Amino acid sequence: MQLNELISCMIRLSTPIKRDFRKATPAMCNPMLPLPGLSPVGAKKVVAQFDGGLLSSDAGVLVLREVEQRLRVAERLAACIVDPRAPEQITHTLSDIIRFRLLMIAAGYEDGNDAASLRVDPVFKMAHDLSPSDRDLCSQSTISRLENLPDARALLRMGRAMVDLYCESFTQVPKRLTLDIDDTFDAVHGGQQLRLFNAHYDEYGFQPIVVFDGAGRFVTAVLRPARRPGGKEIRAFLRRLLRAIRRNWPKTEILLRGDSHYCTPETIDFCRANGLDFIFGVAPTSTLRAHVLGLEAKATAMFEAAPENGKVRRFKEFLDGAQSWSRVERIIARVEASAEGPDTRFVVTNLTTRNARRLYEDVYCRRGQAENHIKSWKTHLAADRTSCMKASANQLRLFLHAGAYWLMWGLRQSMPRRSMWRVAQFDTLRLRLIKIAARVVEMKTMIRIHLPTSCCGQDILRFALEKIPRLAT
Q: Residue 196: in which H helix or E strand, if any?
A: strand 196-198
Within a 13 Å sphere around the CA of 225, how many CA atoms are in the beta-carbon half?
12
Render each residue's pLDDT in the chain as its tens digit; 473 residues: 454 554 454 444 444 444 443 444 444 457 667 788 888 998 899 888 887 888 999 999 999 999 999 999 999 999 999 999 999 999 999 999 999 999 999 999 999 999 999 999 999 999 999 999 999 999 999 999 999 999 999 999 999 999 999 999 999 999 999 999 999 999 999 999 999 999 999 999 999 999 999 999 999 999 999 999 999 999 999 999 999 999 999 999 999 999 999 999 999 999 999 999 999 999 999 999 999 999 999 999 999 998 888 899 999 999 998 889 999 999 999 999 999 888 999 999 999 888 999 999 999 999 999 999 999 999 999 999 999 999 999 999 999 999 999 999 999 999 998 899 999 999 999 999 999 999 999 998 999 999 998 888 889 999 999 999 888 76
pLDDT of residue 33: 76
* Element holding 183 (H helix, E strand): strand 176-183
Residue 433: its pLDDT value, please? 94
The whole-number pLDDT of residue 4 equals: 52
Question: Residue ranges per domain, the chain?
Answer: 55-148+397-470, 152-387
Which of 111, 144, 208 shows the shortest CA–CA distance to 390?
A: 144
Q: What's the Cα-to-Cα distance from 433 to each of 3, 58, 110, 462, rounded to whole Å?
A: 67, 9, 18, 11
What pLDDT score does 21 carry?
A: 39
> In the CATH hierarchy, which fold is given to the domain comprising 152-387?
Transposase Inhibitor Protein From Tn5; Chain A, domain 1 (3.90.350)
Environment class of 255 (CB within 10 Å of its CB; exposed 0-12, middle 13-18, buried 19+): buried
Backbone angles phi and psi of 424, in degrees to 5: -70, 150
